Chains A and B, each alone.
Chain A
Amino acid sequence: MSFPKHLLDFQGWSRAQIESLLETARLMQEVLARPVKKVPALTGFTVATVFFEPSTRTRISFELAARRMSADVVSFAGATSSTAKGETYRDTLRTLDQMGIDAYILRTDAAGVPHQAHRWLKKPVINAGDGWRAHPTQALLDAFTLLERLGSLEGKKIAIVGDILHSRVARSNAELLPRLGAQVVACGPATLLPAHLPGASLTTRLQEALEEADAVMVLRLQKERMDRGLLPSIPEYIAGYQLTEARLAWAKPEAPLLHPGPMNRDVELEGTLADSTRSLVERQVANGQAVRMAVLYHVLVGKQ
């Protein structure tokens, strides 16, 4: 099976390709369980993480994933350097490209930059988050973690709760999970909910979203939403949408809890829930590395 030479979103990725990629992630998980967590699969390849928007966790996850497969890694944090001086993304990327980079891992605050980069560079580009639009590796690691716990996603109801309007995690999950058979319900305050979200049904009622849910994904609430007047206050949000022990009881018993992080404890969810046995938050982080190893392997080497 051949694979697309990029991961901008899931367009161009079939269900079979996605399942095969998740299967590779399982193999990578085994590598990560070994005492020496390193394989030579990407020896000789150079991978660049280019983050025009700051993110420590995702960048480290990608960099470790690349290093564990013996790739050379360079990282570029653009948010405070060249772009602030007026250099365009295109110039920055073209400059890097003169240094023999084989694949780019790109994060930006604006939708579409990974597509633009792919057009400019004609090299593998992995989208590590573009604006509110897509964060495909996050969705893959969420799917991987859910599959680990639930066995299959066929017919499973997954609730996503929080600021859906500004969430690339919600969009990518709504794109990916239904392809694996799941049904996605997105829930949040009316001002933080788009009118349409392909792949998901929408509701402002938390109980409706959680009832009979097989898993619950909680998103981070950003304070910026209050500054822009989209939410009256944090207590107002908590009153309607904070995930509490009592509200989680609406979901199926043992339904696991996911969060893409970083968490605001006691805002979008009760702090104690994050540490409970139902929480898969740490598992998500661990799986993130295996999934990113699999993605790098597929876009660079291409064949199984």
Chain B
Amino acid sequence: MKGEILIKNVTLVDSQGTHGQADVLVGEGRIISLAGGEAAQVVEAAGLYLSPGFLDPHAHLREPGQEVKEDLCSGLTAAARGGYTDVVSMPNTTPPIDRPEAVAALKSRARAIGQARLHPAAALTQGQEGQLLTEARLIKEAGAVLLTDDGRTNEDAGVLALGLRYAASVGLPVAVHAEDAGLRRGGVMHEGEVSFRLGLPGNPAYAESARIARDLEVVRYLTEELGVRAEGHSLLHFQHLSTRRGLELIRQAKREGLPVSAEVTPHHLTLTDRYLERLEPLYKVAPPLRTEADRRALLEGLLEGSLDCVGTDHAPHTADEKELDLLRAPFGIPSLEVAWPLLYTELVEKEGFPLPTLLERFTDGPRRLLGLPPIRLEEGAEASLVLWAPRLKRPVEPRTFASKARYSPWAGWQLQGWPVMTLVKGRVVFADLLDYRP
């Protein structure tokens, strides 16, 4: 059969495990065959791995209004280079994405850019002000996949309860940044031994867990008393978990069958508050980097599945902003381009974390949150794929990022497993096979 691309001698690996070598023929947006064939372009891929494309459930692409930090083009290009075929963008732009027209405009611009696919999240409340609900039904029709007020947390539990009921009725999950503003106060880093020593205002771990406990009670009431059901997706999704205690609450809730899900970021899995001792705003992020005990617990949660997926919380800012002091610098770490090699190196290679499980958290896990079926490496499957090089080692070099945020807490780290080609429905959106030296 004739196809567009033939990926020869590639090792297939997905959430189900490693499936041996194949000659993958891709055409018309699908995997035509795993047994080779004729194609216009042939990629010799011995030593490379082919996996389903990654989906990031949590990225800040900053358009509209903050294009100086990032825009759809730079952000979606960065995503493609990181092996992501799909990205959920957060709505805390200027103005916030809270109208169906705004969702449709983003979708159409992203299609024109033609890099990774964009799935906009929209605000749960108008203006992200935490009071009046947005037009969830129209917003969904316009292409949004998730509702969230994200960084502007819904302090009013009554509004969250209304939002959850309404969103579930139109088939959209809701995501929350679980943090009690009163307990966080002006905290700029994890409250603990290091913050006390450095004299920096602390954000205590229970600012997260107290808020998760409250939100879980809301979900419990809605599902058990009011019979609210989420059909095929998560009802409430907790973004970027950072604490051991928060994880314990979610683990317990899942055991009891509550329809909730949770994500963890690459930085909370690889960095701790000890990095703040460098007095460098690069490490300032919300929620903050926590302790080694929290980091180990999050790893455990990712392994066992209490944490369903890895979300980057890619949060680009200008280099000038990140060079302010620790009180004034904005929160956030850019990570779309390094998330996979970082976790492959630090978790799989160094900690013995099972590769299929990590792949599950980058592919099936986030798709499940949105109610999307998994992509399997079989004939007829959608050819949204990433080709990556498990043995290709090179340092993180922020100056080469496609993202406008050209700084990174991992700058200089030697990583392996770099993506070398990303295909969205059979179309090559990123290819850097020059970097691949078997």
- Interface size of B by CB at 8 A reads 18
Q: Are A197 and B196 in contact (CB under 8 A)?
A: yes
A196 at the interface (CB under 8 A from B): yes
Question: Which A-chain residue is minimally distant from B189 (CB atoms)?
Answer: A111
A-B contact count (CB 8 A): 61
Whether B198 is near chain A, meaning CB under 8 Å from some CB there, is yes
| B202, closest chain A residue (CB) | A194
Residue in chain A with minimal CB distance to B186: A228
A116-B327 contact given A132-B200, A171-B197, A195-B196, CB 8 Å threshold: no
Whether the Cβ atoms of A196 and B327 lie closer than 8 Å is: no
Instruction: Report whether B323 and A88 are in contact in the complex, using a CB–CB cutoff of 8 Å.
Output: yes
| Contact, CB under 8 Å: A171 / B199 | yes
Partner of B198 from A89, A109, A112, A116 at Cβ < 8 Å: A112
Is the CB–CB distance between A111 and B193 below 8 Å? no
Those of A86-117 within 8 Å (CB) of chain B: 88-90, 108-113, 115-116
Does any Cβ of B come within 8 Å of A25's Cβ?
no
Q: A88-B320, A111-B279, A196-B193 are in contact. Are A116 and B199 (CB under 8 A)?
A: no
Partner of A116, one of B192, B196, B200, B323: B323
B196–A110 contact, CB under 8 A? no
Instruction: Report the bound CA distance from A112 to B329 in whole Å.
Output: 12
A131 contacts B280, C-beta separation under 8 Å: no
Q: Give the CA-CA distance A111 to B281 in the complex, in Å.
A: 10
B1 to A: closest C-beta gap in Å: 59
A-side contacts of B281, CB under 8 Å: 112
Q: Tell me which residues across on chain B come within 8 A of A89, comparing CB atoms.
A: 323-325
Against B, the Cβ 8 Å flags (1 = close, 0 = not) of A125-138 are: 00000011110000
Indicate if A198 sits at the interface (CB-CB under 8 A): yes
B118 at the interface (CB under 8 A from A): no
Smallest Cβ-Cβ distance to B329: which chain A residue: A110
A131 to B325, CA, bound (A): 10
Least CB distance from B287 to A in Å reads: 19
A133 in complex: contacting residue of B200, B278, B280, CB < 8 Å: B200
User: CB of B326 within 8 A of chain A?
Assistant: yes
- A195 vs B281: C-alpha distance when bound (angstroms): 24
Contacting A at CB under 8 A, from B170-224, are 192-193, 196-200
Contacts of B327 in A (CB 8 A): 109-111, 131
Query: By the criterion CB–CB under 8 Å, are B328 and A110 in contact?
Result: yes
Q: How far is the CB of A141 from chain B (nearest CB, A)?
A: 19
In the complex, which residue of chain A has the Cβ closest to the Cβ of B320? Answer: A88
Q: Let me know if A131 and B200 touch, CB within 8 A.
A: yes
B10 CB to nearest A CB, Å: 44
- Most B CB contacts (10 A, CB to CB) among A90, A112, A195 go to A112
Let me know if A67 is at the binding interface, CB within 8 A.
no
The answer to whether A112 and B326 have CB atoms under 8 Å apart is: yes
Main secondary structure of the interface of B (DSSP, over half): loop
- Among A112, A166, A168, A195, point to the contact of B325 (Cβ < 8 A): A112
Q: Are A110 and B323 in contact (CB under 8 A)?
A: no
Most buried by B among A110, A116, A132, A196: A110
Q: Secondary structure at chain A's binding surface: helix, strand, loop or mixed? A: loop
B196–A194 touching, CB < 8 Å: yes
Given the known A-B contacts A111-B326, A131-B327, are A168 and B193 also in contact in the complex, defined by CB atoms under 8 Å?
no
Residues of A within 8 A of B199 (CB): 111, 131-134, 166, 168, 171
Complex-state Cα separation, A195 to B279, whole angstroms: 21
Whole-angstrom distance from the CB of B418 to the nearest CB of chain A?
A: 29
Q: How far is the CB of B278 from chain A (nearest CB, A)?
A: 8
Cα-based distance from A198 to B325 in the complex (angstroms)? 23
Instruction: Please give, as numbers and ranges, the residues of chain A lying within 8 Å of B279 by CB-CB distance.
Output: 111-112, 115-116
Docked pose: A30 CA to B325 CA in angstroms: 39
Q: Give chain A's interface residue range (CB within 8 Å of chain B).
A: 20 to 34
In the complex, chain B residues whose CB is within 8 Å of the CB of A168:
199
Q: With the chains together, A168 CA to B192 CA distance in Å? A: 17
Taking CB atoms and an 8 Å cut-off, the chain A residues in 193-211 that contact chain B are: 194-198
Assembly CA distance A110 to B284 (angstroms) = 14
Residues of chain A with a CB closer than 8 A to B200's CB: 111, 131-133
**Are B196 and A88 in contact, with the CB atoms below 8 A?**
no
Residues A111 and B198 in contact, CB atoms below 8 Å apart: yes
Measured CA separation A115–B278 after assembly (Å) = 8
Q: How far is the CB of B330 from chain A (nearest CB, A)?
A: 13
Q: State how many angstroms separate the Cβ of B61 from the closest Cβ of chain A.
A: 25
Query: With A and B bound together, what is the CA distance between A302 and B193 in angstroms?
Result: 34
CB contacts (< 8 Å) of A166 on chain B: these are 199
A109→B200 CA distance, assembly (Å): 11
Least CB separation from B325: chain A residue: A110
Whether A90 contacts B323 in the complex (CB less than 8 A), given A111-B199, A194-B196, A196-B193, comes out as yes
B407 CB to closest chain A CB, in angstroms? Answer: 13
Tell me, in angstroms, the Cα distance from A88 to B330 when the chains sit together. Answer: 13
Min CB distance, A81 to chain B, in Å? Answer: 16
Minimum Cβ distance to chain B for residue A194 (Å): 4
The reply to whether B323 and A133 contact each other, CB–CB distance below 8 Å, is no
With a cutoff of 8 Å between Cβ atoms, the chain A residues found around residue B192 in the complex are: 195-196
Count chain B CB atoms within 10 A of each CB in A166, A171, A194, A197 and give the residue with the most.
A194
C-alpha spacing A288/B196, complex, angstroms = 26
**Residue from B193, B196, B325 within 8 A of A113 (CB atoms):** B325
| B196/A196 in contact, CB under 8 A | yes
CB distance from A39 to the nearest CB of B (A): 34
Are B197 and A108 closer than 8 Å at their CB atoms?
Answer: no
B196 touches A108 (CB 8 A): no
With A109-B327, A110-B325, A131-B327 as given contacts, are A116 and B197 in contact (CB-CB < 8 Å)?
no
| Cα-based distance from A133 to B196 in the complex (angstroms) | 9
B91 to chain A, nearest CB (A): 27
Most buried by A among B193, B197, B199, B281: B199
A residues whose Cβ falls under 8 Å from a Cβ of B: 88-90, 108-113, 115-116, 131-134, 166, 168, 171, 194-198
Given A111-B199, A166-B199: 8 more A-B contacts, CB < 8 Å: A90-B323, A108-B325, A110-B326, A111-B200, A113-B325, A194-B196, A195-B193, A196-B197
Which 5 residue pairs spanning A and B have beta carbons closest together? Answer: A112-B279, A132-B199, A110-B325, A133-B199, A194-B196
List 14 contacting pairs A-B, 8 Å CB cutoff, sorted by A: A88-B323, A90-B320, A110-B328, A111-B325, A112-B325, A115-B279, A115-B280, A133-B199, A166-B199, A195-B196, A196-B192, A197-B196, A197-B197, A198-B197
